């Protein structure tokens, strides 16, 4: 078997994009409807992912072309805002355990109209599952992005025995295979994860559909300009002021 190549990954990525965009259209539409309804009720998007799934939260919260009423929850918030020592960020316990979720919830202090969008390729780690449980316990709509194949093949780490998808109102499958990597190696095993690409695709599709719904209802979508173009800061600051105290923009 030949070693992986850049061209091989491009081919695998194209196939995954086609597969996900073709199979998840209904779920994208449902997710966009939940978000558009939340925005109309003065809610914001609360986005969260750990590990490489934090990249998905960054697609939704705080980037050019995205929605201003969006907040990125991050594990490091327990240090930046929660007073925990920086040492707690070492290792995987914050992600795999459930204890940090309660503090993240307290620090986020969601508005009743907020909608949660949580991403986890495996969908079984304790923190993200516990945050999902808290969101649903408190009456919030919940959108989940996960790998259907991977989450079905691993044991949940949450004490309930439930997976992230079990709490969701809408589940979007990122199409990643078990283990995420897509290219076989000559010596065995696989390389090159795909879930970040397909999750970003789903995130941007959702944003496009939300904007379409807002405009069709006669509204003006609150969308970021790049901070690195003339007038970008002024435009963004004016929109962010509407959500003062509800959205964080950390490094």
* Nearest-angstrom CA–CA distance, 207 and 53: 17
Name the one residue in this structure whose structure tokens are 């202090």. 109
Strand, coil or helix: what is 10?
helix
Long-range contacts of 12-19, Cβ-Cβ distance < 8 Å, separation of 24 or more: 12/182, 12/183, 12/192, 12/194, 13/194, 13/197, 16/175, 16/176, 16/182, 16/194, 16/197, 16/198, 17/197, 17/198, 17/201, 19/175
Run means of pLDDT, 10 residues per run, the chain, 251 residues: 93 98 97 98 97 95 97 96 94 90 97 98 96 98 98 94 97 97 96 97 98 97 97 97 94 80
| Residue 63: closest CA among 219, 207, 216, 202 | 207
pTM above 0.85, yes or no: yes
Query: For residue 213, what are its two tokens?
Result: 């719904």
Strands (E), 8-97: 45-49, 70-73
Query: For residue 112, what are its two tokens?
Result: 């009743």
| Residue 195: closest CA among 149, 131, 154 | 149
Query: For residue 218, what are its two tokens?
Result: 């006669």
Q: How far is CA 71 from the centre of its chain?
A: 11
Q: Are strands 181-184 and 170-173 parallel, antiparallel or unpaired?
A: unpaired
């Amino acid at each position: 078997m030949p070693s992986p190549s850049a061209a091989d990954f491009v081919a695998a990525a194209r196939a995954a994009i086609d597969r996900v965009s073709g199979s998840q259209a209904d779920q994208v539409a449902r997710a966009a409807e939940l978000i558009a309804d939340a925005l109309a009720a003065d809610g914001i998007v609360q986005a969260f992912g750990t590990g490489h799934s934090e990249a998905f939260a960054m697609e939704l919260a705080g980037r050019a072309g995205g929605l201003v009423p969006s907040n990125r929850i991050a594990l490091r918030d327990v240090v930046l805002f929660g007073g925990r020592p920086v040492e707690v960020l070492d290792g995987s316990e914050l992600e795999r355990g459930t204890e940090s979720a309660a503090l993240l919830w307290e620090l986020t202090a969601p508005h009743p109209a907020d909608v949660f969008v949580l991403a986890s390729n495996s969908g079984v780690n304790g923190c993200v599952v516990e945050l999902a449980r808290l969101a649903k316990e408190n009456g919030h709509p919940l959108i989940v992005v996960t790998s259907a194949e991977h989450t079905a093949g691993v044991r949940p780490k949450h004490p309930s025995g439930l997976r992230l998808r079990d709490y969701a109102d809408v589940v979007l499958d990122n199409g990643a295979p078990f283990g995420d990597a897509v290219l076989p190696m000559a010596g065995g095993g696989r390389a090159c994860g795909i879930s970040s690409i397909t999750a970003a695709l789903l995130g941007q599709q959702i944003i496009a559909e939300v904007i379409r719904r807002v405009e069709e209802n006669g509204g003006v979508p609150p969308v970021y300009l790049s901070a690195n173009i003339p007038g970008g800061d002024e435009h963004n600051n004016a929109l962010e002021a509407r959500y003062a105290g509800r959205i964080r923009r950390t490094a």
